[in-house]
């Protein structure tokens, strides 16, 4: 039979226990404060010494830390240099082990490595924290001395004082998960957020399922219990930075632990672990792992002693087996969803001459794909030789008539993508970012830019243009007068490219724009300015393109040849693809979809950009995102961000969407912390839409109004009079 703490932690707490008594609270939350804040609480005298006593010191950032004596050495005093307060960083200090001390060794024994000594220190501290709610008590005592407020509060059922309920885990009438009510000094209730949960030392054998609904907690202490396993649902606690499961009876840890990519400290001391799952290699932010006291295999143990936590994570990451590939992405036709691979065969014969596909993809430039940026990705999956093959395969498999790629560097455009795609009857248009102009040839070849490829069997290229946002802004007199232009816009060398294509079979034209907007979320104003400048330039070019007369019938053309005529630039079908680094609630999205952003738009902030911020911005095109009516989970997927920032925009007066490429299978994403990985070579995913040209409304010349015989007689007289003149 489970003990009382088991029943509580497994949801056994009953509604009649609703009133709670708070223990171990800071002085400033109990009411009138004592005159002497250094006087220890009678309740806690046996827990920790006073902050002013010889047993207390001050640690990092001035937080009080319990001084447990000299560092642990074999045969010596097994104490540590300090203990951080609850919520302050756990036992260790990452791979930095601080000041080196001489370590007594047995005769003929090898001296301890710094990382081995660190493991022994962590284990020593862990064994001293086996008491009930040890971390919470330390935290409260620390907060009581005035250092900082407590991050967690122990709550006890007054009817069963020996059965603690921590942080309102089972409160039915309590506050929301994000905040906890705390009494203020005047006795009124106030809400205090908490992020740490201490279930340590209560002897539980199982964890309540409700625990994993507390997805906001950042620290979880379930040490010194009787747990034999951790539920896979622990992956729901994605914000955890510190997890202590020391002193249990674990024989394994779930692979789902690797989904907790925010973890910085993981303590597994004194369990029955013989190995660690390779999936822990995705814990790229982990600074400290404690594994002492486990019958761990010698390979892993030696690796930790030699290279520390960082070395262990790197080894696990690169030795992790490749997961099963995801199912094919779905293809949407209207409201109908079908398999993309099956539907590709169906689309080919039905893909009429008035339809075409557009594929957009930020491929992640090689120089940006570093282990620092993507520490969760195996090094072999991050290598360019591996990724470029997957990228090319993906582009070729979708066989879109127009392909817009971002972050393609000069070298790989010239030496790889252009030659390889030429075999599939593509030609390309490419420009690098502006910085390439000032670099030597060797450095220049690593600069990325935008590459647009088009099927030569479908389109002819009529014109191509480069849009350099900073250069266009420089040409505007009102921009030159603002400090914000020089400080925020001019030093960003993002670009867009414009291609004017003509359908070989119909003579219909389409303007295809490929853009890459500045990435930094702190520069929302710059993003909006760049897109506004782009739309102004597109309008200017479209007006010129509308004046280009239709070409004569090609000599080898079969069938009718009646190319459309465009009365103005807004009548030409327009596609704008790219990585806009802007979500659907941004000013960029609002401006493109509505055609206007007012001068007081919040994304402009306090910045001044001449007429753009004094009068607002507009554009004349009827634009819509191809995915506006579809719930796309993301186009960029990393542990720190998952959202839609890539778009295919089109003019609704000239084009209609016939189909869309769907997102990534959700069941696959449950096992993946982020991209790139073995199956997705970029942190972005490609998006694709099928478009159909709309027929232009015919403009008919209406006859003059007929008001009877008198009207016709007058008309004839005017005609004769005009002839005489």
* One domain for residues 280 and 348: no
Which DSSP symbol is given to 219? E
Question: Which pLDDT tens digit goes with each residue over 597-619?
Answer: 999 999 999 999 988 899 999 99
In a domain, 687, yes or no: yes
Q: Which of 293, 319, 345 is the last residue of a domain?
A: 319
Q: Which residue has the tokens 């450095």?
A: 443
Residue 326 lies in a domain: no
Q: Is the peptide bond before 676 cis (omega within 30 degrees of 0)?
A: yes
Q: Decide: 693 and 654 in contact? Cβ < 8 Å.
A: yes
Evaluate if residue 711 carries a pLDDT over 70: no
Report yes or no on 720 lying in a domain: no
Q: Is 7 helix (H, G, I), strand (E, B) or coil?
A: helix
pLDDT of 708 reads 56
What pLDDT does 363 receive? Answer: 98
CATH number of the structural domain spanning residue 293: 3.80.10.10
pLDDT for the residue 153: 35
Regarding whether 365 and 263 lie in a shared domain, the answer is no
Same domain (yes/no): 36, 143: yes
Write out pLDDT tens, residues 539-561. Answer: 999 999 999 998 877 767 666 77
Q: What mean pLDDT value characterizes the chain?
A: 78
Tell me whether residue 233 is one of the annotated catalytic residues: no
How high is the pLDDT of residue 10? 38
Say which residue, 29 or 124, is predicted with more confidence. Answer: 124
Domain stops at, among 319, 351, 377: 319
Residue 177 has pLDDT above 50, yes or no: no
**Does 103 fall in a domain?**
no
Is 429 found in the same domain as 305?
Answer: no
What's the pLDDT at 71? 33
Predicted confidence (pLDDT) per residue in 477-526, tens digit: 877 678 888 899 989 999 999 999 999 988 999 999 999 999 999 999 99
Does pLDDT of 720 surpass 80?
A: no
pLDDT tens-digit map of 39-71 = 333 333 332 333 333 332 333 333 333 332 333
Catalytic residue among 579, 603, 646, 683: 579
Question: Between 514 and 37, whose confidence is greater?
Answer: 514
| Higher local confidence (pLDDT), 346 or 436 | 436
Strand-pairing partners, residue 406, are 362, 450
Q: Is 351 in the same domain as 298?
A: no
What is the torsional sign of CA 594, 595, 601, 603? positive
What confidence score (pLDDT) does residue 256 get?
Answer: 96
Work out the percent of the chain whose per-residue pLDDT is above 90: 61
Any domain includes 716 = no
- Do 487 and 508 sit in the same domain of this protein? yes
Res. 137 pLDDT band, cuts 50 70 90: confident
| The pLDDT of residue 8 is above 80 | no
What's the rounded mean pLDDT across residues 369-397?
A: 96
Residue 557 is assigned to a structural domain of this protein: no
Rounded mean pLDDT, 350-368: 91
pLDDT at 185 over 60: no
Domain presence at residue 648: yes
Domain range holding 461?
Answer: 332-552+562-693
* Co-location of 230 and 378 in the same domain: no
126 three-state secondary structure: helix
Cα separation, 253 vs 291, in Å, equals: 12
Does residue 25 belong to any structural domain of this protein? yes
- Which residues have a Cβ under 8 Å from the Cβ of 194 and sit 6 or more positions away? 151, 152, 153, 167, 179, 180, 217
Rounded CA-CA distance 120/363 in Å is 45
Q: Domain of 337: which CATH number?
A: 3.60.10.10
| pLDDT score at 234 | 96
Task: Indicate if 228 and 348 belong to the same structural domain.
Answer: no
Q: Are residues 312 and 381 in the same domain?
A: no
Is the pLDDT reported for residue 420 higher than 90?
A: yes
Q: Express each pLDDT in 144-166 by its tens digit.
A: 775 544 444 333 333 333 433 33
The pLDDT tens digits of the residues spanning 92-126 come to 443 333 333 334 444 456 788 999 999 999 999 99
Are 401 and 285 contained in the same domain? no
3 state SS of 264: coil
Q: Give the count of domains, the chain.
A: 2
DSSP state of 41: P
Residue 421 has pLDDT above 80, yes or no: yes
> Model pTM?
0.76
Same domain for 496 and 399? yes
Helix (H) or strand (E) segment spanning residue 189: strand 189-192
**pLDDT tens per residue, range 623-661:** 999 999 998 999 999 998 999 999 999 999 999 999 999
Mean pLDDT of 708-712: 53
Same domain, 164 and 288: yes
Over the range 212-229, which residues count as b (16 or more CB within 10 Å of their CB) and which as e?
A: bebeebbbbbbbbbbbee
| Burial (CB count <10 Å: 0-12, 13-18, 19+), residue 281 | buried
Higher pLDDT, 346 or 354: 354
């Amino acid at each position: 039979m489970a003990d009382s703490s088991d029943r509580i932690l497994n949801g056994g707490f009953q509604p009649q226990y609703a009133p709670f008594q708070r223990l171990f609270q800071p002085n400033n939350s109990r009411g009138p404060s004592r005159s002497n804040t250094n006087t220890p609480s009678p309740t806690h005298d046996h827990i920790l010494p006073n902050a002013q006593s010889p047993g207390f010191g001050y640690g990092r950032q001035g937080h009080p830390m319990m001084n447990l004596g000299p560092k642990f050495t074999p045969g010596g005093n097994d104490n540590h240099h300090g203990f951080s307060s609850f919520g302050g960083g756990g036992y260790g200090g990452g791979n930095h082990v601080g000041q080196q001390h001489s370590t007594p060794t047995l005769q003929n024994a090898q001296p301890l490595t710094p990382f081995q000594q660190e493991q022994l220190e962590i284990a020593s501290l862990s064994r001293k924290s086996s008491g009930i709610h040890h971390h919470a008590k330390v935290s409260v005592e620390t907060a009581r001395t005035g250092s900082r407020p407590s991050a967690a509060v122990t709550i006890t059922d007054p009817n069963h004082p020996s059965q603690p309920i921590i942080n309102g885990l089972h409160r039915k009438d309590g506050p929301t998960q994000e905040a906890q009510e705390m009494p203020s000094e005047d006795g009124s209730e106030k809400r205090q957020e908490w992020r740490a949960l201490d279930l340590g030392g209560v002897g539980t054998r199982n964890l309540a399922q409700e625990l994993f609904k507390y997805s906001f907690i950042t620290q979880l202490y379930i040490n010194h219990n009787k747990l034999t396993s951790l539920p896979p649902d622990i992956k729901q606690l994605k914000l955890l930075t510190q997890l202590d499961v020391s002193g249990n009876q674990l024989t394994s840890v779930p692979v789902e632990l690797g989904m907790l990519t925010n973890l910085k400290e993981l303590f597994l001391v004194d369990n029955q672990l013989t190995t660690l799952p390779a999936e822990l290699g995705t814990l790229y932010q982990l600074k400290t792992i404690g594994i002492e006291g486990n019958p761990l295999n010698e390979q892993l143990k030696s690796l930790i002693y030699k290279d520390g936590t960082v070395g262990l994570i790197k080894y696990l990451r690169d030795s992790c087996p490749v997961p099963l590939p995801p199912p094919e992405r779905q293809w949407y036709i209207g409201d109908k969803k079908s398999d993309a691979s099956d539907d590709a065969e169906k689309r080919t014969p039905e893909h009429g001459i008035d339809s075409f596909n557009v594929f957009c993809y930020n491929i992640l430039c090689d120089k940006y794909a570093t282990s620092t940026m993507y520490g969760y990705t195996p090094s072999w999956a991050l290598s360019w030789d591996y990724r470029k093959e997957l990228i090319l395969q993906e582009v070729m498999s979708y066989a879109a008539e127009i392909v817009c790629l971002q972050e393609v560097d000069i070298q790989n455009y010239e030496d790889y993508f252009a030659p390889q795609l030429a075999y599939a009857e593509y030609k390309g248009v490419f420009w690098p970012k502006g910085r390439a102009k000032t670099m030597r040839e060797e450095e220049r070849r690593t600069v990325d830019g935008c590459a647009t490829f088009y099927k030569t069997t479908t389109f002819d290229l009529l014109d191509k243009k480069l849009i350099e946002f900073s250069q266009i802004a420089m040409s505007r007199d009102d921009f030159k007068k603002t400090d914000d232009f020089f400080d925020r816009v001019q030093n960003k060398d993002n670009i867009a490219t414009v291609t004017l294509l003509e359908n070989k079979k119909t003579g219909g034209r389409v303007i295809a724009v490929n853009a890459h907007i500045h990435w930094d979320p702190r520069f929302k104003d710059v993003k909006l300015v760049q897109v506004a400048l782009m739309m102004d330039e597109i309008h200017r070019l479209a007006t010129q393109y509308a004046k280009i007369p239709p070409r004569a019938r090609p000599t080898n053309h079969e069938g009718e040849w009646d190319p459309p005529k465009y009365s103005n630039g807004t009548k030409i079908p327009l596609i704008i693809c790219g990585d806009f680094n802007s979500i659907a609630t941004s000013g960029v999205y609002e401006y493109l979809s509505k055609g206007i952003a007012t001068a007081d738009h919040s994304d402009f902030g306090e910045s001044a950009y001449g007429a753009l911020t004094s009068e607002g911005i507009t554009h004349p095109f009827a634009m819509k995102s191809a995915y506006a009516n579809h719930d796309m989970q993301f186009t960029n997927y990393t542990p720190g961000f998952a959202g839609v920032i890539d778009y295919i925009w089109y003019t609704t007066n000239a084009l209609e969407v016939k189909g869309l490429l769907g997102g990534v299978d959700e069941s696959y994403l449950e096992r993946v912390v982020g991209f790139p990985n073995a199956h997705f070579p970029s942190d972005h995913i490609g998006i694709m839409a099928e478009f159909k040209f709309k027929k232009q409304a015919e403009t008919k010349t209406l006859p003059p109004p007929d008001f009877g015989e008198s009207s016709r007689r007058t008309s004839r007289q005017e005609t004769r009079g005009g002839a005489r003149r």
